[in-house]
Structure 1
Amino acid sequence: MHNNTEHLASSAANQPLTHDDIRNFTMPDNSLEDKIILITGAGAGIGRVAALTYARYGATVLLLGRTSSKLEAVYDEIEGLGGKQPAILPMDLEHANYSEMQQLEGLIRKEFGRLDGILHNAGILGELTPLEMYDVDLFAKVMKINTTATFMLTQALLPLVKEAPNGSIVFTSSSVGTHPRAFWGAYALSKQAVEGMSDIFTQETEKTTNLRFNCINPGGTRTNMRAHAFPGEDPKSLKTPEDIMPGYVCLMSDDSIGVRGQVVALQPKV
């Protein structure tokens, strides 16, 4: 399996790039200069911080999310930081159809000419309950947002990313995706499927394109989703989204050329 490989060959530097290298990446100011990167779930949490960080390091960010007001706030933050003008792409991944995603590909092609990267960050937790009691409609919703829509959007935008010199697509997994756990239900299954999706895309493209697919497992991070999953936990005991951004920048930067089919845990258990 691709995701069991800890030492990775980087064709860019001809040096082995380990998961530690990715986690502890030193971010030069021009790490993402001139890259165009789409981020799903960009209105809050890790997605918002990733958008601000990518803009800080030179990228033009395309903000995709369900709530326009949240995307507009991130847009204003980026402009306030002096970043390149972002774009707002409102889309409800639960209800969006494939035709809308194909139209998005056409819009990005027309307005920007290319797409260098996608960060699939959007996701919902669902509920923590035994599978035998899991509400089937909620199960379908979690799978649609976390897995099916992620696949549909990747496929729709793939022609554009394949045209980039060194395209990078980063999925978001979880510890319960790598090792499914009781009571995590649809969320764990959706993330397990995402890891498999990244692996299959890698196998199908690694010999014919420069495009690379990887997963990030952010670990326990101070977000609203984490608070819902662990209501009794002290949020101050957790890393902030800002703390884990080196890994997010690394996998979008040309420093990670050659890193493919990996599941990188940003907070591995010691």
Structure 2
Amino acid sequence: MFDYQAPDNLLDKRIILVTGAGAGIGRTAAISFAAHGATVILLGRTEDKLEQVYDEIEAAGYPQPALIPFNLETAGETDYDNLAATLEQEFGRLDGILHNAGVLGLRTPIESYDPTVWQQVLQINVNAAFMMTQALLSLVQESTDASVVFTSSGVGRQGRAYWGAYSVSKFATEGMMQVLADELEHSGNVRVNCINPGATRTNMRATAYPGENPATNPTPEEIMPLYLFLFGPDSKGTNGQSLNAQ
């Protein structure tokens, strides 16, 4: 596991947006960021799940979060522009974006892959991350110390049979991170990296490996040290890297 001990006040006064914040790693990251002092913007498709995370953060006495229902599959340019305008009005800046939302698609050969599902996976995993980053980059650049983190995968570094659109989307994610990191290399205030969570006890993992015993994998809570490191000041200077949480 990534070895990092985060101080309790690591993220004090930071404003961090988390996509896919209603469940799994996104939910855990949002709560963990809030526990370390951040104001977290919870973004996801299912409002009920976001409200549960919101209530949990509030009940714990952490900084009050914000909640934004948002459908990454159907959102267009206007939706992203409106999102940026809302966040600018409410917060004035962003100190971090965690691109956590993603879908698995099908585990099937390329030969028989459903083109509609292929498009859906690329839309949510790649195009939405691009459009959101582009729309919010000016807010990120208002921060004195900002971190943009994309979510990768082992199959985004080495393609594997039957991983189809998911694998391809993660290769694209790695490339997008590298391009943006290089563009912002000399900005002095924005770093861009990828996290590969590894095998983690989530619903997506269970879907991908239905015969696997979930207890053999770490929980999302156990992989949080790398997430905290990348969004805190200790990672300043870490840019253009694809890092393993395990």
- TM-score under structure 2 length normalisation: 0.99
Q: What is the rounded CA distance, in whole Å, between the counterparts of 1:69 and 1:257 in structure 2?
A: 35
Note if 1:169 corresponds to 2:148.
yes
Note if 1:43 corresponds to 2:22.
yes
Among 163, 167, 177, the alignment partner of 1:184 is 163
Q: What is the rounded CA distance, in whole Å, between the counterparts of 1:69 and 1:126 in structure 2?
A: 23
Q: What does 1:221-240 correspond to in 2, within 5 Å? A: 221-240=200-219
The code of the aligned residue for 2:206 comes to A
Q: CA deviation at 1:126?
A: 0.2
Runs of 4 or more above 6 Å deviation: none
Q: What is the rounded CA distance, in whole Å, between the counterparts of 1:128 and 1:224 in structure 2?
A: 15
Structure 1 regions of 5+ residues with no counterpart? 1-19
Summarize deviations over 1:188-212 as a string: whole Å, max 9, x none: 0000000000000011111234211
The code of the aligned residue for 2:240 comes to G
The code of the aligned residue for 2:203 comes to N
Q: What is the rounded CA distance, in whole Å, between the counterparts of 2:36 and 2:245 in structure 1?
A: 20
Contact 1:37 1:116 in 2 (8 A): yes
Q: What is the rounded CA distance, in whole Å, between the counterparts of 2:142 and 2:63 in structure 1?
A: 22
Note if 1:157 corresponds to 2:136.
yes
Summarize deviations over 1:132-151 as a string: whole Å, max 9, x none: 11000000000000000000
Q: Which residue of 1 aligns with 2:31?
A: 52
Structure 2 regions of 5+ residues with no counterpart? none
The code of the aligned residue for 1:133 comes to S
RMSD of aligned C-alpha atoms? 0.8
Q: Which residue of 2 aligns with 1:124?
A: 103
Matched residue SS, 1:141: helix
Q: CA deviation at 1:112?
A: 1.1
Note if 1:83 corresponds to 2:29.
no
The code of the aligned residue for 1:227 comes to A
Among 173, 182, 185, the alignment partner of 1:206 is 185
Q: What is the rounded CA distance, in whole Å, between the counterparts of 1:175 and 1:113 in structure 2?
A: 36
Contact 1:98 1:153 in 2 (8 A): no
Q: Number of residues paired by the alignment?
A: 246
Q: What is the rounded CA distance, in whole Å, between the counterparts of 1:167 and 1:156 in structure 2?
A: 15
The code of the aligned residue for 1:175 comes to G
Note if 1:67 corresponds to 2:46.
yes
Matched residue SS, 1:147: helix
Contact 1:162 1:209 in 2 (8 A): no
Q: What is the rounded CA distance, in whole Å, between the counterparts of 1:246 and 1:208 in structure 2?
A: 26
Q: Which residue of 2 aligns with 1:31?
A: 10
Q: What is the rounded CA distance, in whole Å, between the counterparts of 2:78 and 2:161 in structure 1?
A: 36
Q: Which residue of 2 aligns with 1:244?
A: 223
Q: What does 1:87-166 correspond to in 2, within 5 Å? A: 87-166=66-145
Q: CA deviation at 1:80?
A: 0.8
Summarize deviations over 1:32-66 as a string: whole Å, max 9, x none: 11000000000000000001000000000000000
Q: What is the rounded CA distance, in whole Å, between the counterparts of 1:36 and 1:208 in structure 2?
A: 19
Identity in percent = 55
Matched residue SS, 2:42: strand
Contact 1:37 1:119 in 2 (8 A): yes
Q: CA deviation at 1:180?
A: 1.2
Q: What is the rounded CA distance, in whole Å, between the counterparts of 2:61 and 2:164 in structure 1?
A: 42
